[in-house]
Amino acid sequence: MKDADIDADETDRLLLQRMASGDRAALAVLYRSYHGRLCRFLSRLTRRADLIEEVINDCFWIVWQKAATFKGESRVSTWIIGIAYRCGLKALRQRGDEPVDDENLPEDRTPAHDPGEDRELRDWLSKGMERLSADQRVVVELVYGVGHTLDDVAAIMQCPVGTIKARLFHARVKLRNVLPALAGDQLTQKESVP
Amino acid sequence: MKLTKDTDRDCAQAWEAMPWVLQDSAPPEQSAWLTEHLARCEACREEFAQQSQLRLALALPTDIDLDPEVGLKRLMGRIDATQVEETQTHARTGTWFTRALVAAVLVQALGIGVLGIKLWSEGDAQSYRTLSQPTPAAMPGAIHVVPDAGMKLADWNTLLHSLQLQVVGGPNDVGAYTVVPAHAAGTSDTLQQLRSTHGIRLAEPATTSP
């Protein structure tokens, strides 16, 4: 774990301790700190903004109630994202929804301030991710987007590490086969290769 | 898996290492090794470039626009509502419990009152006296009788019946019974009869006893 991650985890633990004694200001800090991450993570499961907000609130409702029971066996971020993942699956089950595919992202869903390059990159990613299953998308998001280890992802998704490794492997193979063609059409490779 | 160029063991190792090097969580020696490998392997360079692109794309802010302050406000409202509900539930439970307690105390007080009145109305008058209680003041015509230890109960009962005597006390420490005639017959005659009866060791008027 990097020093920055250790510091962040330490801060999160302190916030949880304060929350356990009913400190709402600590809850607000933790909520704001995780909102963006959870929003992006949950957008791999569903594109519905109302559902994402509901899941984030359900997640933090549980975090608020269980703050005192956090044993510290994992990073706080692993614990919180695991709760969000289970809340997300539950919400989708209750509505009879399947995790959605990323196809046909409406134009008005992309922020107006999105620079052209980011927008191209986003479209490139979107088209690649739509070829993956929901479980594969979640693993890719957690490893590449959030920066979790295989053990963390296994804890979040409550699966054996071997299963996570297999999902990541198959996701990478699919992306490897799909993304270069998309990049040729839409994205100019500007990055230097090490 | 279509890894035509990745059949080489080093390429497979590079493939495994890429996510963790990109995350900056790989050990320094693994990162250094991958850098060296990429310098001489075009296929892995392409793969790594794509992985870097993927990471860059995934690091972009989400395109779903949600205001965290709105969500936070809603969450705080939810917590408030739950706490109010819990307080009300607690208050309701407390009221019910207090009322039940007061009712129980009132019923208890009422019961004690009724019992007290009943006992007070009965006064000291007792309709009975146990033989173990101290002998009351000698009744007129009372006689102390000590039957022989070997006297049968049937003979004792027959004697009492024939002389119309009633036991009102005893036996005391020395085995004496106090008897009184059922009718106001002459005590001296009864005494004589008792004394002459076989099995009676002693018969004396109670009033003359020391």
Domains of chain A, with CATH numbers?
1-112 (1.10.1740.10), 116-194 (1.10.10.10)
Does the CB of A19 have a partner CB in chain B at under 8 Å? no
Contact A121 B56 (CB under 8 A): yes
> What 3-state class would DSSP assign to B146?
strand
Does the CB of A44 have a partner CB in chain B at under 8 Å? no
Residue A71's pLDDT is what?
A: 84
Rounded mean pLDDT of B130-158?
79
How many Å apart are CA A33 and CA A27, to the nearest integer? 10
Residue B128's pLDDT is what?
A: 62
Query: For residue range A83-138, what is the model confidence (pLDDT) as tens digits?
Result: 999 999 999 888 866 665 544 444 444 444 555 667 788 888 888 888 899 899 99
The full length of chain A comes to: 194
Least confident segment among A92-96, A150-154, B132-136, B163-167? B132-136
- Beta strand pairing status for B177-181 and B143-147? antiparallel
Does the CB of A114 have a partner CB in chain B at under 8 Å? yes
Q: Which residues of B touch A173 (CB under 8 A)?
A: 1-2
How many Å apart are CA A81 and CA A158, to the nearest integer? 12
The pLDDT > 90 percentage for chain B reads: 25
Residue B93's pLDDT is what?
A: 67
Q: How many helices (H) and strands (E) does chain A have?
A: 8, 0
Q: Which residues of B touch A105 (CB under 8 A)?
A: 63
Write the Ramachandran bin of B181: left for phi over 0, alpha for psi from -120 to 50, otherwise beta: beta
pTM above 0.80, yes or no: no
What does the DSSP 8-state code read for residue A15?
H
Contact A52 B66 (CB under 8 A): yes
Q: Which residues of A touch B66 (CB under 8 A)?
A: 35, 39, 49, 52-53, 56
Residue A111's pLDDT is what?
A: 47
Write the Ramachandran bin of A96: left for phi over 0, alpha for psi from -120 to 50, otherwise beta: left
Would you say residue B162 has pLDDT above 70?
Answer: yes
Does the CB of A137 have a partner CB in chain B at under 8 Å? no
Nearest Cα neighbor of A126 from B170, B73, B119, B62 is B62
Both structure tokens of B68: 């965290």
Phi, psi of B203 (to 5 degrees): -145, 115
Which of A38, A61, A144 is the best mutation test for B, with the most CBs of B within 10 A?
A144
Q: Which residues of B touch A121 (CB under 8 A)?
A: 53, 56-57, 60
> Which residues of chain A register pLDDT less than 70?
1-2, 96-117, 180-194
Residue A191's pLDDT is what?
A: 39
Contacting residues for A173 by C-beta, under 8 A, at least 6 apart = B1, B2
Would you say residue B120 has pLDDT above 70?
Answer: yes
How many Å apart are CA A72 and CA B189, to the nearest integer? 106
